[in-house]
Amino acid sequence: MSSPAGPSEHTQPPKTAALRLLISDIDGTLVTPDKILTAAAQAAVQRLDDAGVGFSIVSARPPRGMQALATTLGVRLPFAAFNGGSLVGADFHTISTKRLPANVAQAALALLAARQVEAWVFADDAWRLLDPNGAKVERERLALGFDPTVVGGFDDVVERIDKIVGVSDDHDHLAAVEREMQAQLGGRANASRSQPYYLDITPPDADKGRAVRAICEHAGVPLANTVVIGDMRNDVAMFRIAGLAIAMG
């Protein structure tokens, strides 16, 4: 795909800035389209460690869907789930978490239903959905490494939602719903696609830029010495603040 951020949307580091930390998106960046972490990717992370460079990950995935990858790669810094909504320690304890206001979650779910876009809800450490045979369910099960919980509705968790995902194989329709969702919710939530077929709705103060800031603070590394890499528009928030931003081709 084309770069999601133009040259004006990120800052190049000074020539004297040394790379001290690399923070990577997962899907579309660190793993293959089949959700495989290759030996080459593992070796690259090991070379960073050998060079004394820190490494962490940020993703739209829930924490449970990142743990196996973090373990395999030996991540020793905090990492961020739900597009920055949850900051998780290397020992997998939750450092901080943000949730959607109940009225905002209800509005987002209502709009998805009105536009006939399937909704997934992540709450209480579970992935909830209405249709187990819906679009991209098998793909997400493979990526996350755990099964969804099939429910009849979301009212019982509406006050505890970490993230809502609108799912559609009609990419143009989902792009239109993304624009409508942004206009309707305004600053009350972030609505951005993490993949052409996933529209993520997350708390207004949760984005990957804030996540990168938090990881840098925990690592004691300035933003100017940090490199980020990603592939979608939900990565632009971190592109804007890091010393060097790399968009996947």
**% of the chain surpassing 90 pLDDT:** 86
| CATH homologous superfamily for the domain 7-97+206-247 | HAD superfamily/HAD-like (3.40.50.1000)
Q: How far apart are CA 242 and CA 24, in angstroms?
A: 12
Q: How far apart are CA 233 and CA 239, in angstroms?
A: 10
Cα-Cα-Cα-Cα dihedral sign, residues 227, 82, 66, 174: negative
Quote the mean pLDDT of the chain.
91
For the cut 80, the answer to whether the pLDDT of residue 97 exceeds it is yes
The verdict on domain 102-202 having CATH code 3.40.190.10 is no
For the cut 80, the answer to whether the pLDDT of residue 8 exceeds it is no
pLDDT at 17: 65
**CB-facing half-sphere around the CA of 38: CA atoms within 13 A:** 11
pLDDT at 200: 94
Do 7-97+206-247 and 102-202 share a fold? no
Domains of the chain, by residue range, sit at 7-97+206-247, 102-202
DSSP summary character for residue 14: P
Whose CA is closest to 213, among 15, 61, 4, 21? 21
